[in-house]
Amino acid sequence: MTEAQIDGRPASLDAAAQRAAEILSRARLPIVAGLGTDIAGARASIALAERIRGAYDHLESDKIFTDLDVMRQAGRFVTTPNEARLRADVLLFIGKDLTKIWPQLLERLAPAAVPEFDLAHATRKLVWIAPGRAAAQVDGLDVTTIDSNDPHVALASLRARVADRPVNSGKGAKRKIDEIAQILKGARFGVAVWGPELLDSLAIEMLYGLLADLNKTTRFSGLPLGADSNAGGVLQASGWMTGFPMRTSFGRGFPEHDTWRFDAARLVDSGEADAALWISAYGREVPRWKKQIPLIALVPSQVKFDHEPQVRVEVGGPGVDHDSAEFAREVGAIVARRASLPSDAPSVSSVIDRIAQHIGGEA
């Protein structure tokens, strides 16, 4: 039985879809935000955004753009967790939040295990910048750590020393940095691992400069942990549908990408967007904007809003209630997942299709 509500009162899915269509069709600039959904949901959502000439954004865009901005302004190269586990003889971890971002990280990379495809078959070396207490989670190998309040400074110093250029640090700090630089330079295949919260795009550009410098004499690659809510999958779907990442608008009838103008929270709080469709099928995230505008929410049943949305449809979890395709961190690609607990809860794509049916040709 589908749970849908209009103004907090139970309604049929069809009535809810019709009301949602009315709200979105009336708006000057409607937005499709959250976008926490599988590939089918993302495709339906972006197609709907085009139809209603709205803008779309993902709830984890800020994190996705830390890596993406480096890719499109400086260049980058990545590897997969499996490659790292099998081949890396040196791991460079950055930040105390890695296992929080991806709880299976240590299980997947097995730092203490001997890398199977590394010809030397030696124990791995692990360097951890700004580990907090997280380094204690790793058993069975020596971890070289360096505490740093600001990874920008640590990465800059390290890059300078790897390239044998001088730094203006105290003797003790310089000795530590030099020790780590030697470990990195001695790698046969090294992999750097980071998350998008501690490192911003500048720090990541510095890190890629370091990796590029290391690749002059050895091999080193990157493993960004990325963001949740299928941000990586939605990014790819957006790319193949419009040529742009999220934060793209169809306001003028063609896709225009702008990370500042089409930030959903900015659009709502500035008063530029006047209706929103919020999609978060993976979790309990609610919009971050403060201003109240007509809201349609496609969310799981437990989600609580400060102000009840005009229309609310309870959707199933991708890969839980229904089969899904989504970006999987463990392989660094889009994978098909079978429903773990199949149910009748509708998928985001099916609800969006219903809304789209109620939107006239001249929407």
Applying CB under 8 A, which residues contact another protein? 28-29, 53, 69, 72-73, 152-153, 155-157, 159-160, 163, 165-169, 173, 202, 205-206, 209-210, 249, 251-253, 256-261, 272
CA 214 from chain centre, in angstroms, equals 27
254/305 with CB nearer another protein: 254
Q: Which of 5, 28, 36, 23 is nearest to 237 (CA)?
A: 36
Q: CA 49, CA 19: separation in Å to the nearest integer? A: 17
CB of 343 to another protein, least distance (A): 37
Q: Are 234 and 246 in contact (CB under 8 A)?
A: yes
CB of 294 to another protein, least distance (A): 16
4/184 with CB nearer another protein: 184
CB of 346 to another protein, least distance (A): 28
> Could you tell me the CA-to-CA distances from 172 to 145, 154, 256, 304 in Å, in that order?
14, 14, 51, 52
Q: Are 8 and 308 in contact (CB under 8 A)?
A: yes
Q: Which residues contact 252 (CB under 8 A, 6 or more apart)?
A: 53
91/156 with CB nearer another protein: 156
257/288 with CB nearer another protein: 257
CB of 199 to another protein, least distance (A): 13
29/277 with CB nearer another protein: 29
CB of 156 to another protein, least distance (A): 4
Q: Which of 164, 201, 167 is nearest to 181 (CA)?
A: 164
Q: CA 314, CA 294: separation in Å to the nearest integer? A: 18
